[in-house]
Chain A
């Protein structure tokens, strides 16, 4: 949590604060203009070529599902930016914050509008990175940095699986255009790759949407400033996973694997998270866990296919975004005004902060599912959707009932107790927060009430088009009604209230019991730390093992690799023909070969360094003689000069080297094996090269063109300075850079020794 300064005067951050708000509001207005055509059942598509060679286009589509998300993102985004401008007024790094938050909003919009798998993935990763920056915004806090990194690792690891899944999906469907894949319907499910695709996509979606057992990063991500939590962790980023599941629903849903996986993960997450939410004493943490519950519920409904489940999904998606963002903003306001979010330290704020309290009350009623708020309709639909589950309806309905009752209790803890119970225990004067911080909660809470009273408004504009995107038919959408008569969902609602009230009354005792239980069970979060520590230790051991710092080891590995690679290449491609060993030898070659062999033997068997260097010099001069014999005087001269300079350099170094630690004349079988292998493989390779007929076309060209075109008779030099001048330039640059680096290193060593 950032250091919240006590000054809550309504000053902003200049144009840096205002520009993003205008941008977000403008986007919201632009998306709103698409409402009539979407309500009429159309879809608007925008396509620009991107990488035509790969068949990739920047394809975007606005249909019911993406418009619902786009409106939530840009609308809540505008309110959150307005709120942040006061919440972080005068923050020295507000520019950075505004940039991160705006970038995140745009990535999220790109994600939900993308109509191409690759485009979708690019935006998916962008949301991961921008949310990492936002969670770690208070970068001076170690906890904040650790949690940001944890969120990044978990979601990026899922992102890798997701990418693999998208690629397989593109291969299986024969196109990367999402609308075309969806148009293929359930044909995909009979494809051999269906199961791998499903598993990989779910791995991505479940990590992003924090389903158990990947849930632990989300409560930790509350290290971010509260407006960020309101935006990312209620309405947008965590819903990206749910969005992708919904987007793929028409082609992927319907199989047993889909049904059981989503239903199980969703139900377990929903119940587990609501129990954990009850345990929290920090209001923001409690809300974080109820967000997990909502994500679980949404996943659970996406596992089904019935019209009721789809309608419930669409409605609850909107309800949850409205009340959860509002409540996060309320908690931020309370935190700003009182300096704490601990539930036990807060009380009686209703009189001091009446508007905040009212917004909190309305949102909480929606969350708890009281009529006439939208949350009530959402809850009724959830029960209807749960009961429509083909197999095990009672189990699903039971899970939803338990989760809803727990949510009722949490709504009371978060939005009722701090405002209307007890007396304020904080000593500082508490005032109402300025209007920009009230606008968000009030508008969002009011929308929950307006839509609750006029469900038809939401039905026509967003819910039915979303269900259309999910199922492909308008008739699947069920009617949103405040009063549907006395039926099973209504009875379950009453049961929810009763159970929720009991849980609320007993929550203090329950919390103690839960805390005791939690201390006994192993924590995934602590496990994460152990995992990271293990990874670090493993890396240290591995580095110590492969980076020994001994030249001998590096050389052994290098040459062994050369021998193996050459041998593998020769054997792998079928053994080539070899030229005869004694080809065009003359009597002159015999002493030359003897010189080379003698030099090499002396270098290998001597026990003196100086002698070894001199012997290597003999080998080098022998090689120069070979060049002279075979008509390459330039190469021979260069070779000779290099030999001379190497001897000088080595002699300089030798004088300062310590004594050899190991007895130099000890026989080392490993090194001998490597040396013999490299020699043998290289010789074989050369013989194989000699056996292939020489392609003279390049040589002929240079021979013909050297004099008339480049006015030179020495072909080697003409190639170096004219035909291939750019290559030479690059090589010379390497020589200069290497020398300068070596000089810098040597000088550095002297500085260190001082």
Chain B
């Protein structure tokens, strides 16, 4: 679609949407959000980009093929489940590391649960974009 207004607006909107998607991903554990929603929001940012500037530009901006991203996300989620085995727990038991924890605060919580959620994010993001790009290009 050839529209100067859309293209100019998209330049800002895509960045905002991507930022918002990561924000949704990270807050998901305590507030509404999460990897699934974050992935969908991020994907809609790139869909907008593809509509404004064409799928060729969108693919270049993405660097990796969306199919690759989807499979990487699936692999990451699987690895997150495997980590539990190192600690002798059941598959997919969450493992937590609280950096700088004090009496009052939990510090910076890092966990395989977050790793799993990032995997979900990438899988949803990649799968949606694969489908939309293919539709735009092939139909």
Contacts and interface: CB of A to CB of B under 8 A. Distances in A.
- Say if A and B assemble together: yes
Interface of A: 633-634, 637-638, 641-642, 644-645, 648-649, 652-653, 656, 710-714, 716-718, 720-722, 725-726, 728-729, 732-733, 735-736, 738-740, 742-743, 746-747, 749-750
Chain A CB within 10 A, most for which of B44, B71, B73, B92: B92
Contacts of B73: 732, 736
A645 B41 CA distance: 10
Nearest to A642: B40
Given A645-B43, A645-B47, A717-B33, A739 B138 contact: no
A726 B32 CA distance: 21
B77 A714 contact: no
Nearest to A746: B138
Nearest to B92: A725
Contacts of B130: 739-740, 742-743
B90 to A, nearest CB: 10
B10 to A, nearest CB: 14
A726 B92 contact: yes
Given A725-B116, A729-B92, A740-B130, A717 B138 contact: no
Nearest to A748: B138
Given A637-B24, A648-B44, 5 more contacts: A637-B32, A710-B113, A720-B36, A740-B130, A743-B67
A452 B47 CA distance: 91
A578 B65 CA distance: 52
A736 B37 contact: no
Chain B CB within 10 A, most for which of A638, A641, A710, A738: A641
Given A711-B111, A713-B31, A746 B139 contact: yes
Contact of A735 (B29, B67, B111, B124): B124
B123 interface: yes
8 contacts: A652-B135, A721-B34, A721-B120, A732-B120, A733-B123, A736-B127, A742-B131, A749-B138
B91 interface: yes
Contact of A721 (B78, B116, B132): B116
B66 to A, nearest CB: 8
Contact of B74 (A713, A717, A726, A736): A736
A714 B32 contact: yes
Contacts of A716: 32, 34
A710 B93 CA distance: 10
Nearest to A740: B67
A712 B29 contact: yes
A732 B35 CA distance: 11
Chain B CB within 10 A, most for which of A638, A716, A721, A726: A721
Contacts of A732: 73-74, 77, 119-120, 123-124
**Which 9 A-B residue pairings sit nearest by Cβ, starting from the closest?**
A739-B127, A641-B40, A633-B32, A712-B29, A746-B138, A725-B92, A713-B30, A717-B34, A743-B134
Interface of B: 24, 28-37, 40-41, 43-44, 47, 51, 67, 70-71, 73-74, 77-78, 81, 91-92, 94, 96, 106, 109, 111, 113, 116-117, 119-120, 123-124, 126-128, 130-132, 134-136, 138-139
Contacts of B77: 728-729, 732
Contacts of B106: 711
Given A648-B132, A711-B109, A712-B29, A638 B36 contact: yes
A649 B81 contact: no
A717 B28 contact: yes
A642 B47 CA distance: 12
A652 B136 contact: yes
B29 A645 contact: no
Given A649-B132, A732-B123, A739-B128, A638 B40 contact: yes
Contacts of A721: 28-29, 34-35, 113, 116-117, 120
A648 B126 contact: no
Contact of B37 (A641, A648, A728): A641
A328 B25 CA distance: 78
B51 to A, nearest CB: 7
Contacts, number: 142
Given A638-B37, A736-B127, A743-B134, A644 B44 contact: yes
B44 A717 contact: no
A710 B94 contact: yes
A725 B126 CA distance: 20
Contact of A726 (B24, B91, B119, B134): B91
A656 B40 contact: no
Contacts of B136: 652
Contacts of B91: 726
A503 to B, nearest CB: 76
Contacts of A722: 94, 113
Given A656-B139, A729-B81, A714 B34 contact: yes
A733 B33 contact: no
A747 B126 contact: no
B135 A649 contact: yes
A747 B65 CA distance: 15
B34 A634 contact: yes
Nearest to A641: B40
Chain B CB within 10 A, most for which of A648, A720, A728, A732: A732
Given A648-B47, A718-B29, A725-B116, A742 B134 contact: yes
Contact of B31 (A653, A714, A736): A714
A747 B117 CA distance: 30
A597 to B, nearest CB: 27
A634 B106 CA distance: 25
A742 B70 CA distance: 14
Contacts of B123: 732-733, 735-736
Given A645-B43, A721-B116, A711 B96 contact: yes
A645 B124 CA distance: 12
Contact of B78 (A634, A649, A713, A729): A729
A712 B134 CA distance: 37
A644 B126 CA distance: 17
Contact of B33 (A652, A714, A740): A714
A736 B71 contact: yes
Contacts of B139: 652-653, 656, 746
A409 to B, nearest CB: 74
A653 B138 CA distance: 10
Given A637-B37, A645-B47, A747-B134, A714 B29 contact: yes
Nearest to A734: B127
B131 A649 contact: yes
B131 A641 contact: no
Nearest to A637: B37
Nearest to B131: A739
B54 to A, nearest CB: 13
Nearest to A727: B92
Given A652-B135, A711-B109, A732-B120, A739 B33 contact: no
Nearest to B116: A721
Nearest to B106: A711
Contact of A725 (B29, B81, B109): B81
B135 A733 contact: no
Nearest to B21: A641
A637 B44 CA distance: 13
B127 A735 contact: yes
B125 to A, nearest CB: 11
Nearest to B128: A645
Nearest to B121: A732
A747 B44 CA distance: 22
Nearest to A750: B138
Given A721-B35, A729-B77, A746-B139, A648 B40 contact: no
B127 A738 contact: yes
A172 B78 CA distance: 52
A727 to B, nearest CB: 10
Nearest to A729: B77
Nearest to A634: B32
B91 to A, nearest CB: 7
Contact of A645 (B44, B70, B96, B119): B44
A641 B41 contact: yes
